[in-house]
Structure 1
Amino acid sequence: MQAGAEKRENCKGCSASVHVTDAQIDRVLSKLALHPGDCVSDARYEARLRQCTACPSLQYGSTCAHCGCFVRVRAKLAVKSCPQPGGSRWNELIAE
């Protein structure tokens, strides 16, 4: 490694860094908030995040090892589901 070169951990499929800041994720979530019909309720979002946080496939505290998504964004989108092979970890029994 050259002097001054920053070490990066890259995702499997590209050269982009898998590390993002909370501020970057917050910006994406604020844009999603402009489209409430595309988002799950806060209760469902929190339930999904609890499942992701407990998942052994969570990488770097933000990234799903199964699909490479940022879990805080995927969990907010109504059309998305947990990509875990063999079945979703998300309990969708929470009423909207």
Structure 2
Amino acid sequence: MDTRNNGCKGCREEYQVTEESIQRMLASPMFTSDQCVEDEVYDERLRICNSCVKLQDGINCTVCGCIIPVAAKLKRKSCPMPGGALW
């Protein structure tokens, strides 16, 4: 599909990530496994991201494009901020 005249594909309404879809992802078995950080670590990561200038619409990291409420839950993920991760 040609998106040159419509902006980026991710900006179109049908591709927008909703709070409902994020909660559905976080409810999956993967996010209740040992691959995830403890709730205290998760909350701290979200707090850091919420104060970051690279956070877009309270959901997306403009550095790497990840969905912060999902990425922050995973142990293997880290902040992608150039020059040094914030978490």
TM-score of the two chains, using structure 1 as the length reference: 0.74
Give ranges in structure 2 of 5+ residues lacking alignment: 1-5
Deviation above 3 Å: which 4+ runs of structure 1?
Answer: none
Decide which of 59, 66, 69 is 1:72's aligned counterpart. Answer: 69
2:3 maps to none
Whose radius of gyration is greater, 1 or 2? 1
Shift of 1:61: 1.3
Aligned residue pairs, count: 78
Where structure 1 has 5 or more consecutive residues not aligned to the other structure, the ranges are 1-7, 91-96
**Residue 83 (str. 1) matches residue 86 (str. 2):** no
Q: Deviations over 1:14-71 (max 9, x none)?
A: x23463110100011111334x111000000000000000000001110000000000
**Residue 33 (1) aligns with residue 19 (2):** no
Secondary structure of the residue that 2:46 maps to in structure 1?
helix
Please name the residue that 1:50 is paired with: 47
Query: Which protein has the bigger helix share?
Result: 2
2-side partners of 1:9 and 1:71: how far apart? 22
**Per the alignment, in what secondary structure is the counterpart of residue 33 of structure 1?**
helix
CA apart distance, 1:9: 6.2
Of all paired residues, the percent bearing the same amino acid is 42
